[in-house]
Amino acid sequence: MESKKVLVVDLDNSLLKIDLFKESLGKSLLKRPLVFFKTVMLALNSIALAKTFISKECKTDCHTLPYNNKILDIIDSYRKKGYLILLATGAPQAYAHSIANHLGLFDEVIATNEQINNVGINKLESIKKHVNDSFIYLNDSVKDLPVWLHCKKAILIGDNGRVKNMLIKNNVEIIDTVKKEKSIIEILLKQLRVHQWSKNMLLFVPALLSHQLLEPGVFLNALCSFIAFSLLASSIYVLNDIIDVDYDRKHPMKKNRPIAAGDLSMLRAYAVLLVCFLIGGWMAMLLGTTFLFVMAVYIILNLLYSLYFKRIIILDVLLLMSFYTLRIIAGHIPDTFPFSPWLLSFSVFLFFSLAFLKRYVNIILENNVSTKNGTGYSINDSNILKSFGVGSGIISTLVLILYTGSEQVQPFYLTPMILIFLAPIMLYWICRIWLLADRGLIKDDPILFAIKDKISYVVAICFLCIMFFSKYVLL
């Protein structure tokens, strides 16, 4: 390489949007804790040995890793200019060579081995063994400042003002700067899945149906319940995304989630998880031990679902249904509203239907005949799932009809029989959403679809109008 122009490319947080060692460590904490703790113990004595060890224990799929497309374009343009391309990374050799073989863009690969952690001065010495002093170095980290100070030519990744100022101060020519496309606020909002918080509006339902939502203190309690549940639910979403990161990267839509896409590092993901969990848990404690207990049940069931039950057919759907029903239960607790068997029965069957719909959409979208889609279902199960789901939805409507004739409805409405008109509207919504799913028009969670669906809002308004007339109009 001595006589040719050279571009030296870093891997972690440069060519890749992630740090492979830190991500492998983060994944192993939940999936293989023994590997995690052994890696940490090795790192106390030798980072190089720790990196090599975890690369052997935790394999990575180089086909689905989050590459930075802008860097790939830069590499391609420099290759066309006749540059030799050298991959020089602190990542372990097993990862580096696998990625290099997959991309086919590099003439040489320098990486961490059991003896040398290829970072900083070590990386510079390794590069000097392969090229002369004239090369361009593409990187993001201040750790590799010695390499930039040596070659005096930089392609800087990210918006790190500190690194940029240090390069300018040391007369390093910044040939190009590749800025990040997304703000941290945008990434965090997406990772917390704030749009999913709409599901937690179910916590207002008991107060609404008890006609006490506007009573002093009731709305405030419902609002605090909503915030606590939302934060704790977001911590579970982060946890699930950490556990499922490899699967998500193979999914046509989930690959765009922040952790899977490399927009949020494992370290930051754990920090977000901890903050949401602590604040949400504190607010749940303020609402009483019973509410805290329900939240604990929700969290435990979510953990069991993510780690084990997600791949057990039917049981996974029962758990999905229970997550929604627990929201209804939690909404009764702060103001000790009496539990309604009608509301709980309606919720069980409706959310059972929507849980089946979620699974149906998953397998139709992936069109996978094996069980490698992260669940225990295959495309051959779609018809039976559809039957279960539609049937459950219709039963929920039957429960609604029976409720209109029950004694429990009498204290709240002047003309309870008007509520019977809720049934055809409910049937319309259930049948329509399943028909749209069968046509492939629902791409993700049916609740999220309903939030964006104008017809669902019309249905909700019709529900409220019927309830209003039933309460205030005497026939």
Whether residues 32 and 13 fall in one domain: yes
pLDDT of 187 higher than 70: yes
- Residues 143-161, mean pLDDT to the nearest whole number: 88
Give tens-digit pLDDT for 14-30.
Answer: 999 999 999 999 999 98
Measured CA to CA in angstroms, residue 452 lies from 195, 301, 396, 445, 447 at distances of 10, 28, 23, 11, 9
How would residue 473 be classed by pLDDT, with cut points 50, 70 and 90?
A: confident
End-of-domain residue from the set 178, 200, 231: 178
- The reported pLDDT for the residue numbered 411 is 80
**Domain count across the chain:** 3
- Residues 359-387, mean pLDDT to the nearest whole number: 73
Separation between Cα atoms, residue 228 and residue 287, nearest integer Å: 9
CATH of the domain at 42: 3.40.50.1000
Whether residues 352 and 475 fall in one domain: yes
All residues at 6 or more sequence positions from 184 whose CB lies less than 8 Å from its CB, including other chains: none
Whether residues 95 and 129 fall in one domain: yes
Asked if residue 431 belongs to a domain, the reply is yes
Give tens-digit pLDDT for 226-238.
Answer: 999 999 999 999 9
pTM comes to: 0.84
Separation between Cα atoms, residue 446 and residue 355, nearest integer Å: 8
Other Cβ atoms less than 10 A from the Cβ of 393: the count is 24
- The reported pLDDT for the residue numbered 275 is 97
- Residues 210-227, mean pLDDT to the nearest whole number: 89
Q: Which of 232-241, 411-420, 430-439 has the least mean pLDDT?
A: 411-420
Is 258:190 a contact under the CB 8 Å cutoff? yes
Whether residues 254 and 403 fall in one domain: no
Whether residues 118 and 199 fall in one domain: no
More confident residue, 475 or 228: 228
Q: Is 344 left (phi over 0), alpha (psi -120 to 50) or beta?
A: alpha
How would residue 87 be classed by pLDDT, with cut points 50, 70 and 90?
A: very high
Separation between Cα atoms, residue 468 and residue 451, nearest integer Å: 22
Q: What percent of the chain has pLDDT over 70?
A: 97
Give tens-digit pLDDT for 119-130.
Answer: 999 999 999 988
Asked if residue 58 belongs to a domain, the reply is yes
- The reported pLDDT for the residue numbered 217 is 87
Asked if residue 290 belongs to a domain, the reply is yes
How would residue 326 be classed by pLDDT, with cut points 50, 70 and 90?
A: very high
Whether residues 169 and 189 fall in one domain: no
Task: Give me the domain span that covers residue 391.
Answer: 340-475
Q: What is the mean pLDDT of the chain?
A: 90
Whether residues 162 and 231 fall in one domain: no
Whether residues 119 and 16 fall in one domain: yes
Whether residues 199 and 164 fall in one domain: no
Asked if residue 307 belongs to a domain, the reply is yes
Whether residues 187 and 164 fall in one domain: no
- The reported pLDDT for the residue numbered 132 is 83
- Residues 137-157, mean pLDDT to the nearest whole number: 90
End-of-domain residue from the set 282, 313, 335: 335
Asked if residue 1 belongs to a domain, the reply is no
- Residues 86-111, mean pLDDT to the nearest whole number: 94
Is 311:371 a contact under the CB 8 Å cutoff? yes
Q: What percent of the chain has pLDDT over 90?
A: 65
SS3 of 295-348: the string is HHHHHHHHHHHHHCHHHCCCHHHHHHHHHHHHHHHHHHCCCCCCCCHHHHHHHH
Structure token pair of residue 276: 């949401």
Identity of the residue numbered 412: F
pLDDT of 388 higher than 90: yes
Residue with tokens 């930089």: 154
Measured CA to CA in angstroms, residue 317 lies from 321, 375, 380, 388 at distances of 6, 11, 17, 11
- The reported pLDDT for the residue numbered 340 is 84
End-of-domain residue from the set 178, 213, 247: 178
Asked if residue 423 belongs to a domain, the reply is yes
DSSP structural state of residue 143: G
Whether residues 190 and 156 fall in one domain: no
